[in-house]
Amino acid sequence: MNHSAVASKAASTNSMLQVSGLNVYYGESHILRNVDLSVPEGEMVCLIGRNGVGKTTLLKAVVGLLPSQSGTIAFAGKPVTDISPDARARLGIGYVPQGREIIPRVTVKENLLLGLEASQGSGKGKQSIPEEIFTLFPVLKSMLSRMGGDLSGGQQQQLAIARALMGRPQLLVLDEPTEGIQPSIVMEIEAAIRRIIETTGVSVLLVEQHLHFVRQADQYYAMQKGGIVASGSTSELSQEVIQRFLAV
């Protein structure tokens, strides 16, 4: 684990998220092996790899849903390895999970208001949904009183992203936001994410399979068998790397 400590020191300048030497187990099985990853401030980092290599596990460890056996996770310079997911959310990690995880028997409006729980120092004042949420996702405006569980998959995905934005996160963790969604909505979601990054300067950690979405990221990390096997700038993303790590 010595080399990871050195690596983390080198990359710790201005990084929003810094994962060093992370090992995660599901019971007995070793899933993540000495993972090092860093998301620089204001940049978009994409995690690629075939199914079952541990991408979602890594994201879950970052948001705090899975405990890590060893290694550290630092967010905005602070170690967060041992704190609970709700405390991490309040520090500024917004999570859009695979499968959306919309609260089903709660209205769309209430789902959005739940996103406010993460925003620091939210006072007693009247809770309202900022207009920019509806500029990003116009569909949601007409659905406010519907139950979250009754929306279609694409609408739920937009709601999940909007909900994460409500907490004004500094780091947005997106797990396959375009999975199983019709192409026209995929375009909408991609455009919305691009706009979010431009307007708010949020850092993004993304797991994605769509190649042209991957190309919008600044950096990529490729995973295989629970470890990072390649990384670099997406502009240098070669055809060979794509062939090996993207399930296209």
Partner 1 sequence: MLLLQSVFNGISVSSVLLIAALGLAIIFGLMGVINLAHGEFIMLGAYATFAVQSGFKAVLGESGLSLYIIFALPVAFIVTALVGLALERSVIRFLYGRPLDTLLATWGFSLILRQFVRSVDWSLFIGIAVFCLLFFGGLAILRRRLDGQQTRKGANTILLLLSLGIAIVTRVLLGQTDATALTKPWFSARNVDVTAPNWLQGGVPIGSFQFPFARLFIIALTIVCVVATYWFLQRSRWGLRIRAVTQNRSMSACLGIPTRKVDALTFALGSGLAGIAGCAITLLGSVGPNIGQNYIVDTFMVVVVGGVGNLVGTIVAALAIGTLTYLIGSGMFALLLTPVEALNPLADFFTFFATTSMAKVMVFALIIAFLQFRPSGIFPPKGRTAES
CB 189 within 8 Å of CB 157: yes
Q: At closest approach, how far in Å is the CB of 82 from partner 1?
A: 12
Q: Site map for partner 1, 51-80, x if CB under 8 A?
A: ------------xxx---------------
Q: Does position 130 bind partner 1 by CB under 8 A?
A: no
Rounded CA separation 45/47 (Å): 7
In sequence order, which residues have a C-beta less than 8 Å from that of residue 135 and are 6 or more positions away? none
CB 30 within 8 Å of CB 226: yes
**Near partner 1 by CB under 8 A, which window of 19-27, 94-102, 174-182, 197-205?**
94-102
> What is the DSSP secondary-structure string of 103-133?
-TTSBHHHHHHHHGGGSTT--SSPP---HHH
SS3 content of the chain, % helix, strand, coil (to 5): 40, 25, 35
Pick the closer one to partner 1 by CB: 17 or 222: 17
Pick the closer one to partner 1 by CB: 204 or 246: 204
Q: Which of 85, 132, 168, 242 binds partner 1 (CB under 8 A)?
A: 85
Rounded CA separation 23/31 (Å): 7
Q: Which of 154, 167, 177, 226 binds partner 1 (CB under 8 A)?
A: 167
Binding site for partner 1 (CB under 8 A): 63-65, 84-86, 89-90, 95, 97, 101, 103-106, 110, 113-115, 117-119, 127, 147, 149-150, 163, 167
